Structure 1
Amino acid sequence: MAYKHGVSISENPTSVISPVRVSAGLPVVFGTAPVNLAETQEFVNKPILAYTYPEAVKALGYSADWKNYTLCEFMKSHFQLFNVAPIVFVNVLDPKKHKKEVPDSDIALIKGVARIEQDGILLDQLTVKLTAAGEPLQKNVDYIAAFDGKGNVIITAIQGGAISDTVPSLVVSYTHLDPNMVTKMDIIGGVDVTTGKYTGLELINRVFPMYRLVPGQILATGWSHDPMVAAIMKAKSGSINGLFKAVSVTDVDSSETGADRYSEVPAWKNDKNYTDPLQIVCWPKVKLGDEIYHLSTQTAGLICKVDAKNDDIPFESPSNKNLQAVGLVNDAGEEVELGPEQANYLNGQGIVTALNWIGGWKLWGNRTAAYPGITDVKDAFIPVRRTFNWVANTIILTYWQNVDNPTNRRLIETVVDSMNIWLNGLSARGALLGGRIEFRSDDNPTTDLLDGIIRFRVFLASPTPGEVLEFQLEYDVSYFSTLFAA
């Protein structure tokens, strides 16, 4: 040690640790996107973080064909209808794999302009010729190729190029995306044993390492009605990176072969095993103008909107909050009519739906998919389950910095004091009814302490949704005395 003479200063760590902020409802959405319209086609099986609609369109492209390009539905709903952010997108549509080649075909050239009526065309694989036996024309020398608003390719002849005014047609060949080739196995994904590359739902484990954001909701728009996809979603929601928890927001199949009537939904839900505490089950779809949204899509947006109102603390239920909808429809587009009795019946079976009763169309339902099979309050109510997830995720991120510190009184007091201050703050603002942390000798036998294991016990109670406000009316005959008042 160096010799000291004079005044010296040293610092000790702060005894109270500030909690790390966690994005309670961050949606991670798996599906397909028209990447041929994006700036590059690099974003295949890679988590893409977007905070704005233009940013998402730039990275993934956009198409109104939501059946084939499912991520576009979520993109519009979340950014434009609910005005919340961010989103993590995972596109599984691979231009190298899910594609179809179209050989030479004639297209009419009218006033120097030709249109190819086909979406998903990959511009870098487009060939334009004057005749089938001719040489390919040069892009940006003989012609310009660009997309119109519908995703079709417009070929425009360049003045002075090889395409004269007398040319009646062009011969084109191209490769285009084929979303029909995407299967549920692409959504489910896995890990390549040779390269170690993650695909599909397995990429949920890459979100935090890449962006330092904890997933709060897992969705697969247009795919979550498949029981195999939903099973993997709920499995992932319980152990992200082996540590974090989220909820999976899923849809019931509202087609004729699924459950297109409300009375069929509970049996479908149970038969297909949509019964997990970390799962939200939605039925049917919602309509806004000519657009039809999966209810899971708008549920996720509403969850984020309610969380944002509460400083990203998920203690309030999204139920009885306004959707962006004017009606309910099944998969065939047929109108679904639900009154309070039918909607409450679905709620009693752990199904979230929508109701137009007082104040417009609103999400209706507080129960997770586990209800009524499981009635434990922390697993049966959506906001309580999400609060437990959020508290657990926050604890992990906050106290990870204390791992491997010496097991002494200072460590114990730092954790206990910091946690109690944080829990008291949540209680003061109404996010919790109460909470505390204890370090108990009974939970920490000497053999565990010798092995470096320290156990804390956290107690908390988050408010349950006030599902039933019951008023009793009684005729009070004593008020007859008012007839004789002076």
Structure 2
Amino acid sequence: MARHGSRVRETPTSLSAPVVATATLPVVFGTAPINLAETLENVNKPVLAYSFPEFAKALGYSNDWKNYTLCEMADAAFRQFNVGPVVFVNVLDPDKHKRNKQESIKVENKKGVIETEGILLKSLEISNNDTKLKSDQDYIASFNEDGQVVIALLIDNVTTLDVKYDQLTPESITNNHIIGGYDIDTGKSTGLELLNSVFPKLSMVPGLVLAPKFSKDPTVASVMKAKASSINTYFRAQSLDDVDTKEANSYTKVNEWKNKNNYTGNNEVVCWPLTGIGDKVYHLSSQIACRIMKTAYDNGDYPHESPSNKPLPMTKLLVETADGHEEIDLSPDQAELLNNQGITTAINFIGGWRAWGNYTGAYPANTDVKDKFIPVRITHNWLANTIILTTWDKVDGPIGKRLRDNVLDTMNMWLNGLQGEGVLIGARVEFREEDNPITDLNNGIIRFRYFVAEPTPAQDIDNILEFDANYYKALFISD
């Protein structure tokens, strides 16, 4: 049909806005008191939480961090550092990891308490003198603040109750549950395999990968490191791992343990020892992860500044013993030795307790600046992830000047902005003829070359103090 008149057609803006990757989004694998949550369904699923109430609602909360490891990270992130969001993956399955128990409890003032934790409320059966009681008719059962079941009776003349229930068995969770895998029959992933599910489900790129308590096992740490280096084939993240403080119970033993167990990745932050505040005991990996997040947040969500020499909410250093935990001391020279072995720690020297250490696990064997410094490595990961996110919509577009110029203009403007913010010392992207031979262009391959220089941490400030005798000449000058 013939057209008659004046029209306007819109085309996409030639200069695209970069899609920024989440630089420090932690993905934490472990166990949660799922019986205290609103639903029992959050098992082997990425759960995003921005606050402590969100975490408790989705996964429950317990102060028993030894058995419920995700609660440690929730406390550190939301209570101690006040940062978020955090992605949690709970591997404790109430359908599999449970035992059946029965006991008798006393009733006083029409109230009885089952002091056992981890009870699955729907499994609870209550009887009195062989008469089974009915929920909401004879009694009401609920959890108290300690995760124990309180039974409020609606009938009289009851002094004892016989109770049966299913109880979670978090102690049955092994390193293999954290590592997980892919079930061909069900098509479902578990454990660390779910790292690949975070972006498709949440549209957020993982920045940090943790498994407090479990990452001290070399097999778990090895899988964490491997998975973090290739997420969804394209993205990359930093793994934070803990040294086993029961085996390496003094600073002189840490380096040997680290090397023997291959905690030497450039995308790996090796943490030692444990930290404590009051009765709470944290794995240093969870505190360093939160410190990385908080430092990035304080810098406009840019990850270029080191977490080292930044405050930590702690009052002591600890190592694990057969009977519990033992407090240790660490002097600055001892901490420096650990740092030079590629180990991150904490010291109490000037300004209270602080994170201490800039090197990844790859140091000192690998001295490449992009691999040895924690903030440089994290920034490098973030830049790479952002480049992928921003250029993805150009995939399968026609190769030509328009595509070339759009990528060059968009990315160079973004990189120039990062220089202005102090995130980068300098950066540029180029389209080079030698990188793009005709044979590759004919095959649909186009290459852009990025040059970047992140700021390195000023970890050694050398102040030279000299006595200058010339100042005595002032004595001979009359006022």
If the length of structure 2 is used for normalisation, what is the TM-score? 0.98
Partner of 1:182: 173
User: Counterpart of 1:400 in 2: which secondary structure?
Assistant: helix
Q: CA deviation at 1:143?
A: 0.7
Residue 140 of structure 1, CA deviation: 0.6
Map of 2:56 onto structure 1: 57
SS of equivalent to 1:84: coil
> Is residue 236 of structure 2 the alignment partner of residue 245 of structure 1?
yes
Paired residues in the alignment total 475
Name the aligned partner's letter for residue 224 of structure 2: M
Instruction: Report the counterpart of residue 334 of structure 1 in structure 2.
Output: 326
Separation in 1, partners of 2:204, 2:426: 27
Query: SS where residue 123 of structure 1 aligns?
Result: strand
SS in 2 for 1:331: strand
CA distance in 1: counterparts of 2:187 and 2:131, whole angstroms: 43
Aligned residue type for 1:295: L
Residue 122 of structure 2 is matched in structure 1 by 124
- Hey, which bits of structure 1, 4+ residues long, moved more than 3 A? none
Q: How does 1:411-450 map to 2 (within 5 A)?
A: 411-450=403-442
Deviation, 1:135, is: 3.9
Q: Give the match for residue 193 of structure 1.
A: 184
Unaligned runs of 5+ in 1: none
Matches within 5 A, 1:163-174: 164-165=156-157, 167-174=158-165
**RMSD across aligned positions (CA):** 0.9
Q: Which 5+ residue runs of structure 2 have no aligned equivalent?
A: none
Task: State how far apart, in whole Å, the 2-side matches of 1:478 and 1:336 are.
Answer: 48
**Identity across matched positions, percent:** 53
Instruction: Give the CA deviation at 1:183.
Output: 0.6
Residue identity matched to 1:52: S
User: Shift in Å at residue 250 of structure 1?
Assistant: 0.7
Distance between the aligned counterparts of 1:283 and 1:331, measured in 2?
11
| Alignment map for 1:91-130 (pairs within 5 Å) | 91-103=90-102, 105-130=103-128
Residues 408-453 of structure 1 deviation map (CA, whole Å, 9 limit, x = unaligned): 0111011111111111111111110000001111111111000000
In structure 2, C-alpha distance between the alignment counterparts of 1:391 and 1:248, rounded to whole Å: 17
Which string of whole-angstrom CA distances, capped at 9 and with x for unpartnered residues, describes residues 65-119 of structure 1?
Answer: 000000011101100100001011100001111101014x221112211111210
Matches within 5 A, 1:64-463: 64-103=63-102, 105-131=103-129, 134-158=130-154, 161=155, 164-165=156-157, 167-255=158-246, 258-332=247-321, 333-463=325-455
Mapped to 2, the partners of 1:175 and 1:12 lie a distance apart of 61
TM-score with structure 1 length normalisation?
A: 0.96
Cα offset for 1:216?
0.4
Q: Which has the higher mean CA deviation after the structures are superposed, 455-464 or 142-151?
A: 142-151
Q: Distance in 2 between matches of 1:464 and 1:346?
A: 19
Structure 2 distance, partners of 1:283, 1:78, is: 19
Q: In structure 2, what residue type is equivalent to 1:111? A: N
CA distance in 1, matches of 2:467, 2:114: 76
* Equivalent-residue separation in structure 2 for 1:292 and 1:371 (angstroms): 28
Q: Note the C-alpha offset of 1:15.
A: 2.1
Distance of 2:159 and 2:304 partners within structure 1: 66
Deviation at 1:342, TM superposition (A): 0.2
> 1:168 Cα deviation (Å)?
2.2
Q: Whole-Å Cα distance in 1 between the matches of residues 12 and 142 of structure 2?
A: 59
